[in-house]
Structure 1
Amino acid sequence: MNPFVQSALAGCVATLPMSVWMLGAQHWLLPRRERYPLPPEQITEHAAEAVGLDTVAENDTVLKAATVVNHFAYGAAVGALYAPLRDLPGPPVVKGIGLGIVVWTGSYLGMLPATGLLSSATHHPARRNALMIVAHFIWGGVTGVLAERSLKRS
Structure 2
Amino acid sequence: MTAVMKVLHRRLPLLQRHPLPPRQIAMRVAKRLGIGKPRSTGAQKAMTLAAHFSYGGAMGTVYRRITRRIPPGPGSGIAFGLAVWTGSYLGLLPATGLLTPATFHRPQRNALMIAAHVVWGWSLGALTRRIDALPREKWPWDGLHARAPH
Same fold by TM-score, threshold 0.5 exceeded?
yes
CA–CA distance in structure 1, aligned partners of residues 86 and 16 of structure 2: 21
Long gaps (5+) in structure 1: 1-17
> Is this contact kept in 2: 1:96–1:143, CA < 8 A?
yes
TM-score (norm 2): 0.84
Give, in angstroms, the shift of residue 59 of structure 1: 3.5
Amino acid at match of 2:33: V
Q: In 2, are the aligned partners of 1:86 and 1:148 still within 8 Å (CA)?
A: no
**Equivalent residue for 1:101, pick from 82, 89, 92:** 82
Larger Rg: 2
Q: Deviations over 1:36-63 (max 9, x none)?
A: 001110000000011111153x442211
Give, in whole Å, the separation in 1 of the partners of 2:122 and 2:94.
Answer: 25
* Contact 1:108/1:120 (<8 A) preserved: yes
Tell me the number of residue pairs that the alignment of Structure 1 and Structure 2 aligns. 134
Return the match for 1:49 from 5, 16, 31: 31
What's the counterpart of residue 81 of structure 1? 62
What's the offset of the Cα at 1:144? 0.3
Query: Would you say the 8 A contact 1:82–1:147 is kept in 2?
Result: no
What SS class does the counterpart of residue 54 from structure 1 fall into? coil
TM-score (norm 1): 0.82
Unaligned runs of 5+ residues in structure 2 are 137-150
Shift in Å, 1:120: 0.7
> What residue in structure 2 maps to residue 4 of structure 1?
none
| Preserved contact between residue 27 and residue 37 of structure 2 (Cα < 8 Å) | no
Partner of 2:93: 112
Q: Is the helix fraction higher in 1 or 2?
A: 1
Deviation at 1:80, TM superposition (A): 1.1
Match status 1:21 vs 2:43: no
Counterpart code for 1:61: G
Higher relative contact order (CA 8 A, sep 6+): 1
